[in-house]
Amino acid sequence: MLNLIGTYECKADVKGRVMVPAPLKKQLAPVMADGFVVKRAVFQPCLEMYPMKEWEALMLKMTELNRFKRKNNDFIRRFTAGVKVVELDASGRLLIPKDLLSFAGINKELVISSAINIVEIWDKDRYEQAIDDAADDFADLAEEVMGGGYSDGDGVS
């Protein structure tokens, strides 16, 4: 499983190309040849970039949904809205499609942030606001999400 680490500030050029930072590119090297999928995030005004194998695993779960239930069809349609296959070019740049840049409110300055096995791509100001907004509630969130019976005895805290 891919376990990405790091948060990087970058700039997009007028065509929406972003130079992927060298430390992140090094981490993505094992999956780079397969390409990536970029999509709108569900809960935040940002983009999510999935390595193709991660995307395929997620789509395998989606195929298990009963398509004769309207909610499932609506979910699939909305979840996959605006999905694009992307690759890094020979210079290590990622071309983010204009419609996705617009959705995320990205003009020039952006943040690329690892999220375990995917990458989030944010407008810099929106990213900082999201982090600031969550700061007050993070202790409660951490306790609720991680404090309930997931210990495997390794003492991680």
Q: What average pLDDT does the structure give for the chain?
A: 91
Residue 2 predicted with pLDDT over 70 = yes
Residue 85 predicted with pLDDT over 90 = yes
C-alpha–C-alpha distance, residues 73 and 67, integer Å? 6
Confidence at residue 65, expressed as pLDDT on a 0 to 100 scale: 95
Q: Which domains does the chain have, with CATH numbers?
A: 13-146 (3.40.1550.20)
- Give mean pLDDT, residues 101-116: 96
> What does the H/E/C string look like for the chain?
CCCECCEEEEEECCCCEEECCHHHHHHHHHHHCCCEEEEECCCCCCEEEEEHHHHHHHHHHHCCCCCCCHHHHHHHHHHCCCCEEECECCCCEEECCHHHHHHHCCCCEEEEEEEECEEEEEEHHHHHHHHHHHHCCHHHHHHHHHCCCCCCCCCCC
Q: Which residue has the higher pLDDT, 145 or 19?
A: 19
Nearest to 121 by CA among 92, 95, 90: 95
Confidence (pTM): 0.88
Share of residues in the chain with pLDDT > 90 (%): 81
Confidence at residue 144, expressed as pLDDT on a 0 to 100 scale: 86
